[in-house]
Structure 1
Amino acid sequence: MSSLRVRVALVLAVLLSLSVAPAATAAPAAADVSTVLSDGESSSTSVRGWQIQSSAQVSATGEEISQSRFDGSRWYPVGPRSTVLAGLVQNGRYPNLFYGTNLRDNVNRADFQVPWWYRTEFSVRDKSPNMTLKVPGVVSRGEVYLNGTKLGDVVGVYNAREFDISGLVKPGRNAVAIKVAPADPQKDFAISWIDWAQPAPDNNMGIWRDVEITRSGPISLLGSYVHTKLALPGFEKADVTAFAEVRNNTSSVQYVTLQGEVANRGLYQVARLNAGETRTVEFPAQTVRNPRVWWPAQYGDQPMYQLDLTAKVNGRNSDRSGAMFGIRDVVSNLNAKGDRQFIVNGRQIQIRGGGWASDLLLRTQPERLETQLKYTRDLGLNAIRLEGKLETPEFYNLADRLGIMLLPGWECCDKWEPWTGWGGADWTPEDYPIAQGSMATQAKFLRNHPSVIAFFIGSDISPPENVQRMYLTEFQKAGWPNPVLPAASLNGSPQPPLGSSGSKMEGPYDWVPPNYWYGDKVGAAFGFAGELSAGHSIPALDTIKGMLTPTEQEQLWREPATPQFHTGRGNEPFNNLNLFNTALANRYGTPTSLPDYVDKAQLANYEQVRAQFEANARRMTADRPATGFIYWMLNNAWPSLNWHLYSHDLNPAGSYFGAKKANEPIHIQYSYDDRSVVIVGQSPKSANRLTAKAEVYNIDGKLVHSQEKHGISVSLPGVAEVFTLPELTGLSSTYFVRLKLTDSNGADVSRNTYWLSSQPDVVDWANSDWYYTPASTYADLKGLATLPKATVDVKARTHGDKTTVTVRNTSKSVIPAAQLTLRKADGSQLLPITWSDNYMSLWPGESITVEASHEPTRRPTVEVSGINISSSKTTAE
């Protein structure tokens, strides 16, 4: 069997082994890795699981632990992707870590101040001359042993190493042991949670990607990749060039025949390799006529092509390799204003992305991962930035399939960026080869994925010239096909050889008023922003009760400035919600209870997030265009009150639906700065013969103003100006602007409602800080709290994994945001879930029908709630 197929089998076994039993009772059964070569066809499996144990509990040496006769019956069984703490949680040692302050109070830090052992066994039927053990990296470093012999060290989370184990493997049972050292993100090339979350108490020490065993004949295919050159602008053809990294495992000259297919076109090449030589073989370019082009979400489909290669020596299969790839073209450069922009397949695309957070314990959760990337598409986002959390292969495969552009890169504020002066130790001579090896490994890991459109070699600051050149050399060796960006910030640039990043990182990270985004300073909607948002996102009430203790729940709404454990990592300014809560009380009124606080917070999150996305969308064609931004953040590593578009339990709330509304394919919106109404198109399809209508209502529901325009066209993607609302007199302190866009048949295309104030927020630009800009005057939205209670009629029908809900406002009061929730028979929320719309405004007598997608469920309960809704429930038919 080829090394490619061994890897595939290994990954499958890895995923199956994640459900290992929670308590250790016996040594794991040895997996079987066949070493029989028969024209490249032989059976194999991978190791089925690991065991871990603290070195404080083990007196044996690595030479002893890595013997097949070693007794590991008292060790903890874990999946092959498991940090130490994740393994202890899996085995019930530390239950319910994400509730309250359990992560701080119920974990013994001494557990992680000593090394831990990882151990597993595998078996082979007979010896092979070319077997390797590949360790993908270790947090923070590991000593690797096999069958009583130390193979060497692995240093760094992404610095993979390969060990030749041909001479050590024996027929029958074999054992591998890895001694993992404690991690310190300031001193080691590890993983840091910066100020995103409370850090994992073990600092994620351990192994969280697959350890692989491969075998081949005299010639090994170490990897293969493809470059594509797309003919623009017509896409009538694409040149596809395949590359194979080939190694001669013998002490004599070998002639290898390489043959296979790329995009269903034949490949053939004969190469001569000297003894022990490794080199890259390039195949002649193949022309694909009328190729199926890979597009980002909203712009087209995501077809994938296949590369398959076989290496033969003397007519016998020696190894096989393959890769999936997409045909597409990506360019990133600076526009005339010096701002970063991305051009995909000849079309400039505004990046609408979010910052990614892996699971705090780095656990592999395939179903959860798929849900989150599907949420990303449902939100209307087209990109994700991965700062230092470079994830597992499943992430990139999903992004390829879903059309989500990825911007991976190294992280700030720790060992990866020691030149920032934020406490990271300066690099020593030993550190450069670790960083260099990490870059080489990750460039190869990522190079074939069409979803990956660039790599940030710095985050908050551009690396110095020597580091840039070191990284660029590794990209070139790996055949990297994408742009390399110096940083997500302007700090440290322009710095040769890459020059200016063209990406600002000036905040905000905490609350600012919605009209902030329409300004012309710091983080407002212009240029390219590597990360920014208005900070805190308050989860739904169910989520809050599931993550905070009763005391923390009371403090949340009663004590605005009290630090909350579930904010940042406990350091100022992100350890409390003072700015958000102060603005909430001034704008919406002092909360009267936890449910009232949550209701008001959802409205605040909705309007704030919607404004950020809408301002950037409106300005995509401005004199200084908004070329893209990364919302900070998309998700959370654990239950958090900070920085997310959906909460850790996958519950979409106000922030989610504000973003989803703003990112509709064809969207009508109001501008906070000049009262203009515009239509924004975020897809390549044309839109013509549209009718836009705007209505202004006082808080009592009285119509104050109405205007409309017919025959509107918008070139997509693009912006069409409709009209500007007049400056009206006699408005109530809180009032509504209601927008509606219909097609030529009168069908709704987009609906949008704003709650505004005749006393607008005033942004105090002069006193901006790095993480927020204050408001000198707050908008008065307290009228929402005085709305008369509204009643609704609800009808719902469920069929399998779909529930259709119709809500009608049966009262005389305006409902600014009707929140729909589906519940199971036990009262818990039905999650994950996607809604066609939610947090919907309803005028008296009006009804709206929406659809929810979820796991197959019989007759869920539909609950309708909101700031002025008498809660209503019904059971779906």
Structure 2
Amino acid sequence: MRKFLILLQLSFCFFANAQQRYELNSGWVCANIKDVNSNGNQISAKNFSVNNWMTATVPGTVLTTLLNNKKVPDPFYGMNNELIADVYKTGNDYYTYWFVKDFDEKVVGNEQVWLQFRGINYKADIFLNGKKVNPNVIEGMHLRNQFNITKMLAANGKNRLAVIVHPPDFVGNPNGGQGGDGTIAKGLTTQYTAGWDWIQPTRDRNTGIWDKVTIEKTQSINLKNPHIVTLVPGKRLVEGAQKPATIKVSVEVENPTSKVVNGILQYTIAGQSIKKQVSIEGNQTSEISFADLILQNPKLWWPNGYGKQYLYDVQVKFISNAATFDQENLKVGIRQVDNIWNEQTKSMGAYVNGQKIFIKGGNWIISDAMLRFSDARYDAEIRYHKDMNLNLIRIWGGAILERPEFYNACDKYGLLVFQDFWFSGDCNGRWIDPMKKEDQWTRRQYPDNHNLVLTAIEDQVKMIRNHASLAFWCGGNEITPPEDILQPLKNDILPRLDGTRILYDFSNSDEMSYNTLGGNGDGPYSIQNPVSFWATKTFPYNSEVGSVGVGDYESLERFIPKENMIAPQFKEKPDSVWDYHKYIGYDEYVNPYGKVKDAKDFAMKAQLVNYDQYRALMEGFSSHMWEWYTGSIIWKTQNPWTAMRGQMYDYYLDPNACLYGLRKGSEPLHVMMNPVDSMVNLVNNGFKTLNNLMIQAKAYDMDGKEYLSTQVFNSIGPSSVRKLFSLSGFLNKLDKKEGVFVSLRILDEKQQILSDNFYWLAGKDGEYKGLQKIKSVLPKIEAVEKVKGKVLVTLSNAKDNPVAFFNRIALTDAVSGKRILPAFYDDNYISVLPGESKTITVEYNGNQKTAVEVYGWNVERKRVEVN
């Protein structure tokens, strides 16, 4: 018994040590290469003084470190970016830095210690305790690097790590072109950093130890790159018992020692374990595959709006002599993603677990242009996409393959991911471009080092392939990779390392969306007449369709100086700061609400346009679901910089009306009105027929008088859209020259509202004169927090009032008055009918005392403390 307890204790000790993985994310210092006359061997010695070195931000970029040390102004504010030296003009040494970190670690028993870098941009050499770690120069932003440092650690456990990081060899001239002069793409780095039409140049081109640095401790075996495939055959429903799913698992097993290691390799899921006896030769890495597991009655993972996102815990272990040598822990969603060509639309059809999914997506650039990533920010941004009722995010090719934390959030919230590789039509030569330094034939072969690209692709595929949310691969944005990269990618790398996901050669290729309309196969990118989304057929799976996105006044105040708060006017050049932050015109669409008085007035009227624009976009695509379209992806839903276009929330995570208009138009069950012929349509994105739905249509004039059009029962089949009835005759009879409100609702048998859609229509002259003259109202506002982190805000409008129109609700800190960001509203920019109330739920993190601020078109700004 005593022998057993000792063995158990040893087993626990080995297991605990094997699981030691921690980040080196604080205590770093740095210095510019021009201020250091010593080499890496000297700097990494403990007796080398770094007392006067600057505190460094790791993970982070050089620019982030300089900003945090107040060496540069905030490049996201005003014209500050112009005050920061650009690497193209200074030369690379200006942003070449030494980074140093002291840490405690020593080897115990048979431990192996691993130093892991998840991302360095662009070239680096690493030194530890006076010795060089990497035999060859580290090159390439999109590549993990791991080193066994067991024999290099100091006997007393006091260690020093020194890393020199150089910017890309080719930083590109930021001449105003898309990706500047294009030469940024000669290396394997972020193309957007030379500037784009939605961002100014990032001055250091993201140079730095930009991603996590980790120490991992194992015993004599290191498990790497587990691969989990789930097969869910047949057509599944969300509820009820499920037929079995098949789980396929493999893992790389590395033995860094000189001796053979024997043991049991096993993995566990849903309480079941699959084991295999293995023998790993010394100094060898073997990929081991397990026998298939048939999982009975699995809980499935579904995209947002279709079902729950169930995630299983999976543990992969290597056990020898009752001790755990290493273990990898994962969360896995059981689902199958397929692609079936739709002959009707001539475009890709996305299927999950055998069910066709109408794609409602958003294009994503990167979370932060200066790569200041965090789990919390990723979670908030992906939750906003969930709140928009979207089901897919496409990651654009001019940035990165996103981080595992991004995918964790997509797994959690049910956002499918369409992942581009690192190519763009702009930098990589699709078009003649006078802004580019080199010709198309030369640019077509970027990056210069194709072997490096293939190595990086293999590594990054292994990093993210287990995520349930990862749905599709894409060779590049609007262009394929060079042929000697594309062919290995298609015919070797992805079949060998993934094998379950389709690869589209490029983002608007005919294999994804057959282009019969000419042009590039995507766009447009500017504001559109809302009618056009319903009436004009575009590309059957539009990978990029974009528009405006100015935030409200509080948003603008965060990055525009007071003296530049000058409202843009139609057909006039905007203020220089607005122009610098990439404002695109709202054209004639603001003027019908009345001539703009100032920036605050413009920002409010822009929200009306924002809401209408994005609701109409998604409603128009949904109205032709499976007839014209299998989906669309908005360009774009977020900004990594303080730009003013294509964003449902600003850089500071403050949502604007774009988000709530899109949320409304993307509802899984939705009632809507075609602006062309006033036809009321019903949309059901679910997998079941819905019966006994009451469809209600009413109109209200500017005084709040109600006119009932119809109230009828209807049903709708699964994954379909149905035309119901036209309101044109009813609206013509009203003949309201100054505009009218239309309320559409779906009620269930208990008279609960399932969908509530509210339109404001202009008069016959296209002007909103009625809105300009509508009487003010004072709705009653109550705010209650019964559960911490969840505030219920109720707006009540008296019976004899006009509509309380277009009210913004903002949760604020009760002391400072500043908005709490992020905060998640289940609706916003709401209108409250006469004699009715609406309750909005707001969720947030924090312990501060809160208040709610409400203002609307005809509702004065009011602040109410939360009870």
Gap change, CA 1:205 and 1:856, over 3 Å in 2: closer
d(CA) in 1 for partners of 2:802, 2:447: 70
| Counterpart residue number, 1:817 | 806
Is 2:124 the partner of 1:142?
Answer: yes
Alignment match of 2:40 (pick from 57, 62, 66): 62
Name the CA distance, whole Å, in 2 between partners of 1:844 and 1:317: 67
1:201 to 182, 196, 203: 203
Q: Which residue of 2 aligns with 1:773?
A: none
Answer yes or no: is 1:550 the counterpart of 2:562: yes
CA contact 1:137–1:155 (8 Å) conserved in 2: no
> Which residue pairs with 1:42 in the alignment?
17
Q: Which residue of 1 aligns with 2:497?
A: 478
1:260-289 CA-to-partner distances (Å, cap 9, x unmatched) read: 424432222234555544332111111111
Q: Distance in 1 between matches of 2:671 and 2:563?
A: 43
Alignment of 1:139-178 (within 5 A): 139-150=121-132, 151=134, 152-171=136-155, 172-178=157-163
CA shift at 1:217, angstroms? 4.4
> Which whole-Å deviations, capped at 9, do the CAs of 1:772-805 have from their partners, x for residues lacking one?
xxxxxxx433442232333333233333333333
- Which of 536, 546, 555 aligns to 1:520? It is 536
Single out whichever of 810-819 and 323-332 deviates more from structure 2.
810-819
1:116 aligned partner: 97
Distance in 2, Cα, partners of 1:416 & 1:448: 31
Structure 1 stretch displaced more, 279-288 or 751-760: 751-760
Structure 1 residue matching 2:254: 3-state secondary structure: strand
Is the counterpart of residue 51 in structure 1 residue 29 in structure 2?
yes
Q: Note if contact 1:224-1:242 (Cα within 8 Å) is conserved in structure 2.
A: yes
Mapped to 1, the partners of 2:477 and 2:684 lie a distance apart of 31
Contact 1:186–1:415 (8 Å) recurs in 2: no
Query: Which of 680, 702, 721 is the aligned partner of 2:723?
Result: 721
Q: Structure 1's 844 and 543: CA in aligned 2 closer, same or farther, altered over 3 A? A: same
The answer to which of 815-824 and 628-637 deviates more is: 815-824
Is 1:452 matched up with 2:465? no
Alignment of 1:484-499 (within 5 A): 484-490=503-509
> Is 2:764 aligned against 1:746?
no
Shift of 1:374: 1.9
Deviation at 1:243, TM superposition (A): 0.5
Give TM-score scaled by structure 2 length: 0.86
Cα distance 1:564–1:739, how it changes in 2: closer, same or farther (>3 A)? Answer: farther
TM-score under structure 1 normalisation? 0.85
1:23 corresponds to which residue?
Answer: none
Indicate whether 1:780 and 2:796 are aligned: no
2: CA distance, partners of 1:401 / 1:718: 27
Q: Which residue of 1 aligns with 2:714?
A: 712
Are residues 1:468 and 2:490 paired?
A: no
**Contact 2:190–2:400 (CA<8 Å) still a contact in 1?**
yes
Match of 1:81 among 45, 54, 59: 59
SS at match of 2:191: coil
CA contact (8 A) 1:701 1:814 kept: yes
- Output one character per residue of 1:94-118: Cα deviation in whole Å (capped at 9) or x when no partner: 3544221122225676496441112
- Output the amino acid matched with 2:744: L
Q: Secondary structure at the match of 1:362?
A: coil
- Which one is further off, 593-602 or 831-840? 831-840
C-alpha separation in 2, matches of 1:36 and 1:108: 55
Deviation string, structure 1 residues 39-63 (Cα, Å, up to 9, x no partner) = 4442745535322221122121122
Partner of 2:178: none
Structure 1 residue aligned with 2:273: 266
Instruction: Check if 1:736 corresponds to 2:725.
Output: no
- The equivalent residue for 1:338 is 346
2:166 counterpart letter in structure 1 = A
For 1:486, give the aligned amino acid. D
Residues 690 and 744 in structure 1, CA contact (< 8 A), matched pair in contact too: yes
**How far is 1:190 from its partner?**
1.2
2:656 matches 1:653: yes
Classify the secondary structure of the residue corresponding to 2:185. coil
| In 2: Cα distance, 1:262 partner to 1:853 partner | 33
Residues 336-345 or 479-488, more deviating: 479-488
Task: Give, in whole Å, the separation in 1 of the partners of 2:322 and 2:844.
Answer: 53
8 Å CA contact retained: 2:523, 2:545:
yes
Residue 529 of structure 1 corresponds to 542
Partner of 2:527: 511
Q: Which residue does 1:597 correspond to in 2?
A: 602
Residue 250 of structure 1 deviates from its aligned partner by 4.5
2-structure distance, mates of 1:559, 1:689: 50
CA distance in 1 between partners of 2:567 and 2:504 (Å): 43
* 1:870 matched to 2:851: no
> How far did 1:92 drift?
3.0
For 2:382, the aligned partner's letter is L
Instruction: Give the 3-state SS of the residue equivalent to 1:450 in structure 2.
Output: coil
Query: Residue 249 of structure 1 aligns with which residue?
Result: 256
- Which residue is 1:619 aligned to? 624
> Does the C-alpha gap of structure 1 residues 854 and 37 become closer, same or farther in structure 2, counting only changes over 3 Å?
closer
Contact persistence 2:583–2:644 (CA under 8 A): no
Quick one: distance in 2 between partners of 1:559 and 1:869? Answer: 31
SS for the counterpart of 1:334 is coil
User: Contact 1:137 / 1:158 at 8 angstroms: preserved in 2?
Assistant: yes
Q: 1:38–1:841: structure 2 CA closer, same or farther, 3 Å change rule? A: closer
- Alpha-carbon separation, structure 1, partners of 2:674 and 2:513: 35
Q: Gapped runs of 5+ residues in structure 1? A: 1-34, 761-778
**Structure 2 letter corresponding to 1:689:** N
Match of 1:606 among 611, 622, 642: 611
Taking only aligned residues, the RMSD between alpha carbons, in angstroms, comes to: 3.2
Alignment partner, residue 188 of structure 2: 189
Q: Deviations over 1:288-324 (max 9, x none)?
A: 1111111112222222223323335677654333432
Q: Distance in 2 between matches of 1:793 and 1:79?
A: 48
* Counterpart secondary structure, 1:637: coil
Asked if structure 2 preserves the Cα contact closer than 8 Å seen for 1:238 and 1:287, the reply is yes
Seen in structure 2, the aligned counterparts of structure 1 residues 661 and 251 have a Cα distance that, compared at 3 Å, is same
Amino acid at match of 1:483: I
Relative distance call for 1:222 and 1:466 in structure 2 (3 A) is same
Distance 1:126 1:849 in 2: 59
Aligned to 1:364: 373
Q: 3-state DSSP class of the match of 2:186?
A: coil
Aligned partners of 2:14 and 2:810: how far apart in 1? 57
CA distance in 1, matches of 2:288, 2:515: 33
Bigger mean CA offset, 708-717 vs 599-608:
708-717
Aligned partners of 1:863, 1:130: CA distance in 2, in Å? Answer: 56
Query: Which residue number corresponds to residue 24 of structure 1?
Result: none
Deviation, 1:658, is 0.6
Matched, 1:832 2:844: no
Write the distance in 2 (CA, Å) between the matches of 1:51 and 1:505: 48
Distance of 1:292 and 1:827 partners within structure 2:
45
SS at match of 1:138: coil
The answer to which of 323-332 and 85-94 deviates more is 85-94
CA offsets per residue over residues 357-395 of structure 1, 9 Å max, x none? 311211123322222222222221122222233333222
Provide the residue aligned with 1:348 in structure 2: 356
- Aligned partner letter, 1:47: L
Task: Tell me, yes or no, if the aligned pair for 2:854 and 2:862 is still in contact at 8 Å.
Answer: yes
Partner of 2:3: none
In structure 1, the residue matched to 2:782 is 795
**Contact conserved, 1:561 with 1:577, CA < 8 A, in 2?**
no
Where 1:221 maps in the other structure, the secondary structure is strand
**Structure 2: 5+ residue stretches without partners:** 1-9, 172-183, 237-241
One-letter identity of the residue aligned with 1:231? P
Give the % identical residues. 25
Counterpart CA distance in 2 for 1:52 and 1:179 is 9
8 Å CA contact 1:226–1:448 kept in 2: the answer is yes
1:342, CA displacement in angstroms?
0.8
1:136–1:591 CA distance, 2 compared to 1 (3 A):
same
Is the aligned partner of 1:380 residue 2:392?
Answer: no
